[in-house]
Structure 1
Amino acid sequence: MSVLRRTVKILLLDQTDRLLLLRGRESPEHEPIWYPVGGGIEDGEDAVAAGRREILEETGRREVEIGPEVWLRRHVYSWRGNQTDTHERWFVARTDHFTPTPHALTDNEQTYLTGSHWWTADELASTPDPVFPPDLGPRLTALLRDGYPASPIDIGDGSASSRPGLG
């Protein structure tokens, strides 16, 4: 049986449309993966407030404009032996380019967060490194080319994964 977890994911873009991704590693024997800023929505917290909190905790950045909600995804995954049914809400956020300095990571986050990088959509689409979700590069390319949808698009494929959406 899986645990239900409400989360927010932030497509944190700089002024040249580069996307900030974090790098994490489940354990030393697993390869690192790249994933967007974000995490759980706490009780009594709305998704935008959770997004602002996660940006601050994971990057140290306070002044970020959170824009429209663009995607939704339901994702079931196994992480450190626990099955999680995640309901993700994806928002675009804009900021000037900066060097992330985590501000308030949880003990758990400190054990797996190993770095960060600003990616162009082309770099993301062509990297051999694991990225989650795996189709993030092409999706970001389409979002930047076509603009934001009038209402959030469901990007879930309904399949389970042994690797996380993280956060």
Structure 2
Amino acid sequence: MAFTTDRLRLRELRQSDKPQILALFNDYQVQESGGVDYTVPRGDQFFDRWSGWAKGCTFFSILETKDTDPSFIGFAALGMQYSRNRDAEFSIAIARSEWSKGYGTEVTKWMVDYAFKGLNMHRVSLNVSSINQKAIDLYQRSFREEGRRRGGKWAEGRWVDMLLMGITAEDFWGSEEVATRQ
């Protein structure tokens, strides 16, 4: 089963995705911009642990172009630590070769929309490094900054803040953009 945006297909994780996932996580800039663990080379054991995480998500998808010969773009996920709270943690990673093409905007918008309309979430949350300005600019279109974990991540040889962002169902359903889409 696949879900789609204007240009992308969101599909299930397959074992055959392993080389692309490892290439994604072995790109220093991708790992450093989004990861919270040490930035180190990743191998088979990492993929096994990571795919276990992906399988535990409420919604997980590999992102690929809708072309007849699809290209791997990355992944997006909504995971919940406590289902009672219906608070989905949004995660996304896009291959560096696909940055600045609007895929992040397209997928983020779709995932937020689906979280509320398809999964009946109460809120969607995320964490982003304060030095990842491109991601912050993207997320500010849908999410509000709710807090800051000062010195929450070691990056580029220094401690940087982690921004905590979220959108509630009340924000989503009350937004003018949603009202015009209904």
- The normalised TM-score by structure 2 is 0.26
Task: Looking at secondary structure, tell me which structure has more helix per residue.
Answer: 2
- Point out which structure has higher relative CO (alpha carbons under 8 A, 6+ apart): 1
Task: Looking at secondary structure, tell me which structure has more strand per residue.
Answer: 1
Larger Rg: 2
- The normalised TM-score by structure 1 is 0.27
